[in-house]
Homo-oligomer: A and B are copies of this chain.
């Protein structure tokens, strides 16, 4: 099962040779991870990981969804409950028994990359090898080289952003400041921007307490947001992250904001009104971004918790989120007309609706200095989609206005494999341009290096 050194590089011998040259230039560069979901606590406390299942299967919705699609219950995988040692081993066996269902998927690549490169295992997962693999990983995890900080350094991570609630006290990030100082929080205020959501009143109230302002009024809400953004910035945050159903942001008249905010506070807001108010809230976040310089990243367009019984039994982020079509041109017009050329403002836009790359995002990034096209996201974080992305965007906007890769993962051990895939596929794409005499090899080398260094630094305004 050893990973082939030429994996994911183009099949044509001539193009492959070029791609090898390009990949060699970037293979060992440090990892910059400006957006992801690794808990800061892991690195702050640096305690050993648990068993293989609770590390590699249970919390990774990329894995659980594909097993669920094969008829496996999430319960057996430990979702929403603690597994005994025997149950963990049984869950790992389920994965190995279904290994053939992962063939050709990005998840296969990441898992095999972890087994081979992180744990040094060269056996193919399957019924006969599951116990050996489980035992090997389980043993390794108890040793110092597999503690979070040791892995972080072994992976060559230069910058790592987490994703955090605005009310978070960021204690773990403070601890980490004394370590490398390269683990930054990200301000993710979704829950406070959805006034139609049950719990919004209480959440906003708690945010007010944390910020020391009364969020019973809209003015208080703004003050709390500004205060917490500043707090995050002081702790090293470079960006905010937003994931709502659509991408629209639109400023309301003050009186209308007051009316809707009061309705929301009293729990009498309708869903259409709540959407309207959320779009104003988002416009206001953009206004704050233009002021404080935090990069605004958008991850819209997901129908979350699509399967109601799964949501009730197992909660969120378990693999039951399904993308929907998106529209950006009209949705972002008001906010870009206002802040699109403001010096402080910057926006990185991600999508799972590929149709918008050539039609909307590349044209927007090809005009607005503030707009960057985000790397292929979530379901699109995969070998073929990465090439389609470059093909759709490059002709129109070139390379400089793309974000560089983000891993967006909570699967800490998969980070090297994910960046490896992106670097190989960018090398593959660039090699094709060189082979077709659309780019010189020297330019391609420069671009390949920039895509893993300059691009994320510029798009996310890294220090």
Set of chain B residues within 8 Å of A320, measured between Cβ atoms: 367
Whether A354 contacts B360 in the complex (CB less than 8 A), given A8-B436, A11-B432, A333-B303, comes out as no
Interface residues of A in 283-325 (CB under 8 A from B): 303, 306-310, 319-325
Set of chain B residues within 8 Å of A446, measured between Cβ atoms: 100
Set of chain B residues within 8 Å of A172, measured between Cβ atoms: none
Assess the A7–B70 pair: CB atoms within 8 A.
no
Q: Convert A335-365 into 0s and 1s, putting 1 for each residue whose CB lies closer than 8 angstroms to a CB of B.
A: 0110011000000000011110011101111
* Minimum CB–CB distance for A11 against chain B, Å: 4
Interface-side segment among A79-87, A101-109, A141-149? A101-109
Q: Convert A422-452 into 0s and 1s, putting 1 for each residue whose CB lies closer than 8 angstroms to a CB of B.
A: 0000000000110111110001001100000
Assess the B358–A385 pair: CB atoms within 8 A.
yes
Set of chain B residues within 8 Å of A333, measured between Cβ atoms: 303, 306
* Minimum CB–CB distance for A448 against chain B, Å: 12
* Minimum CB–CB distance for A66 against chain B, Å: 6
Interface-side segment among A161-169, A188-196, A248-256, A390-398? A390-398
A177 at the interface (CB under 8 A from B): no
A382 at the interface (CB under 8 A from B): yes
Distance of A3 Cα from B102 Cα, bound (Å):
36
A329 at the interface (CB under 8 A from B): yes
Assess the A396–B367 pair: CB atoms within 8 A.
no
Assess the B7–A397 pair: CB atoms within 8 A.
no
Q: Could you pull out 13 A-B pairs where Cβ atoms are within 8 angstroms?
A: A6-B437, A7-B436, A8-B436, A9-B436, A66-B397, A66-B398, A69-B401, A105-B396, A105-B398, A320-B367, A355-B359, A358-B380, A383-B436
Interface-side segment among A12-20, A46-54, A130-138, A404-412? A12-20
A246 at the interface (CB under 8 A from B): no
* Minimum CB–CB distance for A166 against chain B, Å: 29
Whether A11 contacts B14 in the complex (CB less than 8 A), given A325-B327, A360-B323, comes out as yes
Interface residues of A in 362-380 (CB under 8 A from B): 362-369, 371, 379-380
A272 at the interface (CB under 8 A from B): no
Whether A8 contacts B438 in the complex (CB less than 8 A), given A68-B369, A355-B325, A367-B65, comes out as yes
> What is the chain B residue whose CB lies nearest that of A351?
B359
Distance of A13 Cα from B14 Cα, bound (Å):
9
List residues of A whose CB falls within 8 A of some B CB. 3-4, 6-15, 65-66, 68-71, 100-106, 109, 303, 306-310, 319-325, 327, 329-330, 333, 336-337, 340-341, 352-355, 358-360, 362-369, 371, 379-380, 382-385, 388, 391-392, 394-401, 432-433, 435-439, 443, 446-447
Assess the B105–A397 pair: CB atoms within 8 A.
yes
> What is the chain B residue whose CB lies nearest that of A355?
B355
Distance of A308 Cα from B437 Cα, bound (Å):
39
* Minimum CB–CB distance for A168 against chain B, Å: 30
Q: Given A66-B366, A321-B363, A323-B363, 11 more contacts at CB 8 Å? A: A4-B437, A12-B12, A68-B367, A68-B369, A69-B367, A69-B397, A69-B401, A308-B337, A363-B379, A366-B379, A385-B395
Set of chain B residues within 8 Å of A69, measured between Cβ atoms: 365-369, 371, 397, 401
Set of chain B residues within 8 Å of A105, measured between Cβ atoms: 394-398
Assess the A435–B103 pair: CB atoms within 8 A.
no
Assess the A322–B367 pair: CB atoms within 8 A.
yes
